[in-house]
Structure 1
Amino acid sequence: MNDIFCKLKKIFLSETFGGILLIISTIFALFVQNGFFSEHYRNLLNLKVGFSVGEFELNKPFLLWINDGLISIFFFAIGLELKKEFLHGDFKNPKNIILPFIAALGGILVPALFFTLINIGDVYTLKGWAIPTATDTAFALAILMMCGKHIPSSLKFFLLSLAIFDDVGAILIIAIFYTTELSIFAFTVAAITIFIMFILNILKITRKSFYFICSLILWISVLKSGVYATLAGIITAFFIPMATKEGKPFLEEIYESLKFWLTFVILPLFAFANAGVNLSNIDLKAIFSGVSIGIFFGLFIGKQLGVFVFSYFAIKFKLANLPQGSNLKQLYGVCILTGIGFTMSLFIDGLAYEVSDIFHYADNLAILIASFCSGIWGFIYLRFFANRA
């Protein structure tokens, strides 16, 4: 009985199951948005939730609590993973960082170029240049895992590493290009909080409550500063000690405790809140607009092209090595999967075009179609063509 429970637990917490759950959440969101419950769905997402203490007030729609709050926990987990890899994992060897870093760079520059060239001349639509630069880590990894033993494990590490750099790139893009009004007072509070966490880290203090309070203050101050609050998640992660004074794993314990919430709550809820595209309001003009075309070609063509070409030349000029036990065909197959923008692209889309129906939801639909095409084609290619001579 215990063996069965352990196997089920392993399946439920795997990247594959997480990807399947995201697909279910997406389909459910589309069904609810375009069915009898559409009004209730929109009312729920627009419901104002908040609190006030004296003159301080924090009052946001439920959708923004998900996009600014819950998704910060996802970036916190990414930050924990990144720190662990740099200090004790494969990133400790600089040679292992080069290929995924260069690949991630290509996966940002080329899709952005595709979108920019298609929408050049229109200042407003160009605000969405970063939409096709993102990769949904959970989805891409889930599909790669579905390919089973046909793909060497080194390519999973390559995709994971690339996704980490991709997420860091997304955070920097959000912080630099999608920040408007800045608050010096909020920045000061954030800086003091960061300094306190630095001291806690130096002293190897591992009281979770201390870090929770600091992270909450940091999140609120970053949110109020004008910079998007997701940045607080990854900053906090860098100050979490690897181990207690007694040598017991601390960072790993926190990371493992988050897996359940990320798999079953945070990412599915994020997908449900953002994937509800109103299909009834989409018209042909919007589908073939520069924004939709830029997103589709940026994600489905630009993303895989940028990642593969940059990787190929990095290997050709001996800046990096091909992942162990893999070939260029398999590497290209993984590059196709990076076109699954989904949740991250939807998130950036919401930042770029604050009015959700400005393009009659065709921009959201383009993200879903491009992600779907990248996932299906990536799986078919890896499963049936990548291992052929």
Structure 2
Amino acid sequence: MRILDLMLRRFIDVGSLEVTYPDGLRKTYGSAGEGPHAAMTIHTSDAERRLVLNPGLAFGEAYMDGAISPDGCDIYALLHVLMENAMAPSSGGSLIGERVASSVRYLRRGWIQFNPEKRSRSNVAHHYDLDGRLYQLFLDRDRQYSCAYFQTGHETLDEAQETKKRHIAAKLKLDRPGLTVLDIGCGWGGMALTLARDYGANVVGITLSTEQLQTARARAAEAGLSDRVRFELLDYRLLRTRYDRIVSVGMFEHVGVGHYRTFFKKVRDSLKDDGVAVIHSIGRNDSPGTTNPWIDKYIFPGGYSPALSETLAAIETTGLWVTDCEILRLHYAKTIEIWRERFNARRVDAAALYDERFCRMFEFYLAGAELSFRVQGHMNFQLQLTRAIDATPLTRDYMFEAEKRSS
């Protein structure tokens, strides 16, 4: 009797999944009632075997290689069924291979997320030093590769990303021109350029991506802002200057749990006495966990979405004040949904840059990432941090007022 068949009988409890096995046998798991529905074909016996042993890694690899294909649906629908059931209490433990692999990953997560300077640069290059034309296929015009902010839910991607930058700027309390701002993990420079152009700040952006560095510098020159914005290839641990404000968007996920205290101590040391920092990161709404092995291998090596509990525990050791915390729940799901639609519309262009296997990898990544926010408890958090107890006003009204003025 097939081991995978026994596992899926116990695993699929929400919606239904139809599976065609390599020998042509077709089985349906779950029920045709409420819940998502999908079908797939497993084309090789090797793929079936690997799904039993380590489904968290094997499923994505088999899809990339064409050893698994959706039937009458797309990869998003197929992942929806699987990821929804992975969160169902009744299915816990039914995928024995994943349960064992997950336990081993948790024991090894200190090593998996051990990100010294050399390894951090290599990890960043793996994803962010891809051909810049790839990201132009699906990002907004400012190339914000992080969660947008939807005030109504009906904004375009460009509008929502502009709103995100205003939202963060309001939390930075940019109440006078000429403030010095450090942008840790500056990406292609959009946030830094916005803070300089629209708020009169003097900004230093640091990154470990050579591709992003070149683009950011070129954008600053093109915008005539090179005198107020400087971009450097620099690890945050090597910072030696103090700033009025610090912002970091979408970088903390790459720090690694063993380096959290080092990161927040560096934030503290890099802030002036009355300074304000805002850290924007993907997080999880449950207890500390691990990164999916496929994501770690193919997309974000060394990356991890932290729980607030482990993040705040690290901050508490530095003496920093957490002066504000906001949880963004479905904002990233909406952001990635738009990215996924845009990527699919330009898939031919992506294949011309790389190949079909790469396109399958990227499809799998975007679909899984969106669903992690819709059904698996991922969210974003924004933390405002200060050194001094009185660095910000008594109430949050100044944030709302600043955001309204800049809209």
Q: Choose 1 or 2 for highest CA Rg.
A: 2
Higher share of residues assigned strand: 2
Relative contact order: is structure 1 or structure 2 higher (C-alpha 8 Å, sep ≥ 6)?
A: 1
Q: TM-score band, normalised by the shorter chain?
A: under 0.3
- Return the TM-score normalized by structure 2: 0.26
Higher share of residues assigned helix: 1
- Return the TM-score normalized by structure 1: 0.27
